[in-house]
Amino acid sequence: MFNWFRRKINKTESEPVSEPTEQVTTPETEPSSKQSDQEDYLTWAKTAYKNIQQRQTPSTSQPEATELPPETTEQPVTEVEPETPQNSQSPPKETKKEETPAWMQKSDRLEALKETAMETAAVEDTTPITFDEEFVWSAKVLAAQGRAPDDISEEEINWLKRLRQGLGKSRRGLVNQLKSIVGQGPLNEDAVMEIEALLLQADTGIEATDYIISTLQNKLLEEALPPEQALDYLKSILRDILDRPLQKVVNPGFAPEKGVLNIWLLTGVNGAGKTTTIGKLAHLAQKSGYNCIIAAADTFRAAAVEQVKVWGERTNTPVIANPGKNTDPAAVVFDGISAAQARQADLLLVDTAGRLQNKKNLMAELAKIRRIIDKKADKAQVESLLVLDATLGQNGLRQAQVFSEAANLSGVVLTKLDGTAKGGVALAVAQQLELPIRFIGVGEGIEDLRPFSSYEFVEALLNE
Ligand SMILES: Nc1nc2c(ncn2[C@@H]2O[C@H](COP(=O)(O)OP(=O)(O)OP(=O)(O)O)[C@@H](O)[C@H]2O)c(=O)[nH]1
Ligand SMILES: [Mg+2]
């Protein structure tokens, strides 16, 4: 099983890891341009391709995960009993307790499926892998990070392809012009000014742009850089900006910790993508081997709960909700924690309301949720993620300030990077909010969200 949060194949699982293949067969399609300095990467990519193919072969003979086994008796259905909070000012109303709802049956059957060692979820990305230009690009990005060709998964390749496609608009707007500037030879003052304008247009924000330009200029005063090196140096500056907030945090990798309950609160203004992100995270957690539960604590509007339930069904994740009107979100969180504890879940994802009238309400609500968590799950590893719509640019950042004051944030999820030509906003987030980007979303699909990697982001943003 591939753990997406840790970005590695979990070799302790029963899944066999194929032997590294030295023998390389020539793939049917080869990339047309074969520069000599690309040869190593091409060999690496071919080896990786062959390894992935080998790994794929045995799995095709396995039964489809969509076919549920007839018997599910091994895993008895455990009813999640909502407890009454003690000393809580707002005891939750009875949690919805219909006769085992459809999603719960489904998830219990999934538990049974897991018992029979079938890892593939019904929603798995089944696109067959092809050795094309995008494969080679993805392979190069992985190789450059020191990965071995026998240690990468097909899914990583597919994700990098999606990331690159998602950032296509930004890249086309930025990279061609950057290339034409640095391609003219060593950078001079005019070229630096042009780069500055490009960065600002890409929503990089004044602070990050100033930093990039001054760092670049300092370097250029020391030595004249040929175009390729100038671009490489620029990339390294961007990576530094994106990685800097990680120096201040305790959990740079941001994977759910095993053995404790991890509670991730998702906050952000309405429409930012919180609920969609919850769904995608639940999917990622399931396929990475974590037992996940969702608490539908956006009780502000009725449709919100329904939307969460759809994602719960899609990802076979139990959803804890309270159908009553004017339900207290903290009460839903309370029930969510009870359910997570009863099922020994690893991760509780909490959907919160974006539509709060003002900062005071927002702060009060989030503080109340925190109090409930502290009371009911004081050992839990709590993270508060701000979901930010990349298409909003600097406006989004202004809204984010309010949340960062209210929510004690531990990171940002940047969504809709596919819909904007302004991927530079990631740099503004890191520089202005001083928060690490934890995940990025590049589409509406279930597979369109992954943990953030500055290296991969910058490559996807600035490579042809
Ligand atoms: N293109 C694109 N669309 C996205 C992405 N993430 C979310 N969306 C879309 O953005 C819209 C709003 O997403 P929601 O998840 O409902 O946002 P929310 O923050 O939960 O909104 P409220 O519940 O109203 O506060 C939906 O149409 C999503 O499909 C993304 O990464 N890319
Ligand atoms: Mg929502």
How is domain 130-246 classified at the architecture level of CATH? Answer: Up-down Bundle (1.20)
- For helices 39-60 and 154-166, give the axis angle rounded to 10 degrees: 120
Nearest to 302 by CA among 268, 319, 327: 327
Residue 99 has pLDDT above 60, yes or no: no
| Percent of the chain residues topping a pLDDT of 70 | 76
Residue 111 has pLDDT above 60, yes or no: no
pLDDT band with cut points at 50, 70 and 90 for residue 69:
very low
- Mean pLDDT calculated for residue range 225-249: 90
Residue 97 has pLDDT above 80, yes or no: no
**pLDDT of 127:** 64
CATH 1.20.120.140, the chain: domain bounds: 130-246
Most confident of 54-68, 319-333, 350-364: 319-333
**pLDDT of 443:** 93
Q: How far apart are CA 202 and CA 213, in angstroms?
A: 14
Contact 335, 95 (CB under 8 A): yes
Q: How far apart are CA 349 and CA 442, in angstroms?
A: 20
**pLDDT of 320:** 95
Nearest to 421 by CA among 56, 223, 180, 177: 177
- Mean pLDDT calculated for residue range 151-166: 89
- Residues annotated within the binding site are 268-275, 351-355, 415-418
Phi-psi region of 203 (alpha: psi -120 to 50; beta: other; left: phi over 0): left
Residue 42 has pLDDT above 70, yes or no: yes
Quote the ligand 2 centre to 412 CA distance (angstroms): 16
Q: Which residue has the higher pLDDT, 83 or 1?
A: 1
**pLDDT of 122:** 38
Nearest atom of ligand 1 to the alpha carbon of 269: 25
Nearest atom of ligand 1 to the alpha carbon of 351: 20
pLDDT band with cut points at 50, 70 and 90 for residue 84:
very low
CATH 3.40.50.300, the chain: domain bounds: 256-409
**pLDDT of 63:** 41
Query: Which residues contact ligand 1 via a Cβ below 6 A?
Result: 268, 270-276, 298, 304, 354-355, 387, 415-416, 418-419, 441-444, 448
**pLDDT of 449:** 95
Least confident of 52-56, 123-127, 166-170, 422-426: 123-127
Q: How far apart are CA 166 and CA 100, in angstroms?
A: 39
What is the domain class of 256-409 according to CATH? Answer: alpha beta
pLDDT in tens, 263-290: 999 999 889 999 999 999 999 999 999 9
pLDDT in tens, 178-225: 777 876 666 777 888 888 999 998 999 999 999 999 998 888 778 878
pLDDT in tens, 340-354: 999 999 999 999 987
Q: Which pTM does this prediction carry?
A: 0.80
To test the ligand 1 pocket, which listed residue (444, 446, 449, 457) has its Cβ within 8 A of the most ligand atoms?
Answer: 444
Residue 14 has pLDDT above 70, yes or no: no
